[in-house]
Amino acid sequence: MNAIELNSITKTYTTKKNVITAVDDISFSVDEGELFGLIGPDGAGKTSIFRILTTVLLADKGNATVLGLDVVKDFTAIRNIIGYMPGRFSLYQDLTVEENLNFFATIFNTTIQENYDLVEDIYKQLEPFKTRRAGKLSGGMKQKLALSCALIHKPKILFLDEPTTGVDPVSRKEFWEMLKRLKAQGISILVSTPYMDEANLCDRIALMQSGKILEIDTPQNIVNRFDKILYAVKSKSMFNLLSDIRSYSKTESCFAFGQYHHLVLNEEHPDLDKLKSYLKNHDELEIAQVKAGIEDRFMQLMKSPSQPAYRQAGTSLRERPWEI
């Protein structure tokens, strides 16, 4: 039995001006004990999927199950076996760390002590601040408290909607280490993120854009499908360099990536001397071949008009948020 299964899920929102399709006929499944990532920019449809699966939003079409339970018919049972951490910090900010944990434990008829083994690693970091109000915690500590509250009733599946957004790099790393330990305890995890570097930490990922899935597979298999020679290009004037490269007749794609621009040429055997000659007016020019990453494959899928809705194994990203 799959931990999570979606079949042809569609969700639209109606505004005064038009109808927005947030989730467009999406189907995928998550295995039990798997750490599965939904990767994509704001507006890709990630949060709508989370809200449908956690029974707080009804889909317009399709059906979904969580551990075999229907998200519409069995919503009460589902709420007892899942932990949900929404993208925005939603705990009671005027309650202390300890009061928040006790409150959520009481809702599920349990105690902190009863399931302490599950939250021990996280709670040890929170314990020095247990009398501090949640609203006064740092971003990283807020996320750890939210995760503890989502775990306090020993859920079988965790839903984490962009849990590390706005958190410093050190806290992000610690958070993902916690997820690995939870996965080792048999908890299935569905996590969403706009950070491409975090995609590599998942067992499998789904790349999403505009309510559609572009591709589903392991991170490495997705990267392996990048079938072009990739170059990292840099000069003293990066803005002008990007404009000039995009005007170059042999350019297939070019986008900003940290301190470099990632470039793909539409030649089978690229002539770098010709490119360097074209860019001769740029000071401190650097051109080097590099290995592609998930973000490069994502950009390739975005630009490919012939790309299928998505390819499964065997069958605005936020302004470069992976640059940390």
- DSSP track, 215-247: EEE-HHHHHHT--S-EEEEE-S-HHHHHHHHHH
For residues 190-217, one letter each, b for 16 or more C-beta atoms within 10 angstroms of the residue's C-beta and e for the rest, the string is bbbbbbbbbbbbbebbbbbbebbbbbbb
- The pLDDT score that the predictor gives to residue 305 is 53
3-state secondary structure of 108: coil
Statement: residue 317 has pLDDT above 60 = no
Give yes or no for residue 78 having a pLDDT over 90: yes
- Are the C-beta atoms of 37 and 192 separated by less than 8 Å? yes
> Where do we find the tokens 């959520």?
104
Averaged pLDDT score across all residues of the chain: 89
Q: What is the mean pLDDT of residues 222-249?
A: 95
Residue 322 pLDDT > 90: no
Q: Average pLDDT, stretch 86-106?
A: 90
> Stretch 183-190: mean pLDDT, rounded?
93
For 115-139, how does the pLDDT look when each residue is reduced to its tens digit (9 = 90+)?
888 888 888 888 899 899 999 998 8
The pLDDT confidence band at residue 194, using thresholds 50, 70 and 90, is confident
Kindly report the number of other CB atoms within 10 A of residue 307's CB atom.
13
Ramachandran bin of 77, using left for φ above 0, alpha for ψ from -120 to 50, beta for the remaining angles = alpha
What does the alpha-carbon distance between residue 190 and residue 52 come to, in Å, rounded to a whole number?
A: 13
Mean pLDDT of 190-207: 92
Assign 319 a pLDDT band (cuts: 50, 70, 90).
Answer: very low
Read off the pLDDT band of 314 (50, 70, 90). very low
Separation CA 46–CA 216 (nearest Å):
14
What is the rounded (10 degree) CA torsion for 62, 68, 73, 77? -140
294 vs 313: which has the higher pLDDT: 294
* 137-168 tens-digit pLDDT: 988 888 889 888 898 898 999 999 998 887 78
Q: Residue 14: beta bridge partners?
A: 19
Q: Dihedral, CA atoms, 321, 157, 90, 207, nearest 10 degrees?
A: 20
The answer, yes or no, to whether residue 320 has pLDDT greater than 50, is: no
Gyration radius of the chain over CA positions: 22
Residue-range domains of the chain with CATH: 4-223 (3.40.50.300), 227-291 (3.30.70.2070)
* Buried b / exposed e along 108-120 (16+ C-beta atoms within 10 A): eeeebeebeebbe
pLDDT exceeding 90 applies to what percent of the chain?
Answer: 65
CA–CA separation, 89 and 263 (whole Å): 38
pLDDT, tens digit (0-9, with 9 covering 90-100), for 19-61: 999 999 999 999 999 999 999 988 899 999 999 999 999 999 9
The answer to whether residues 53 and 161 touch, using CB atoms and an 8 Å cutoff, is: no
Query: Which of 90-99, 232-241, 297-306 comes out lowest in average pLDDT?
Result: 297-306
What's the pLDDT score for residue 324? Answer: 27
- pLDDT value at 262 more than 60: yes
The residue that leads in pLDDT, 114 or 160, is 160
The answer to whether residue 266 scores a pLDDT higher than 90 is yes
CA distance 215 to 198: 17
Asked if residue 236 has pLDDT above 90, the reply is: yes
pTM value is 0.86
Going from the C-alpha of 162 to that of each of 74, 93, 110, the distances in angstroms are: 26, 20, 27
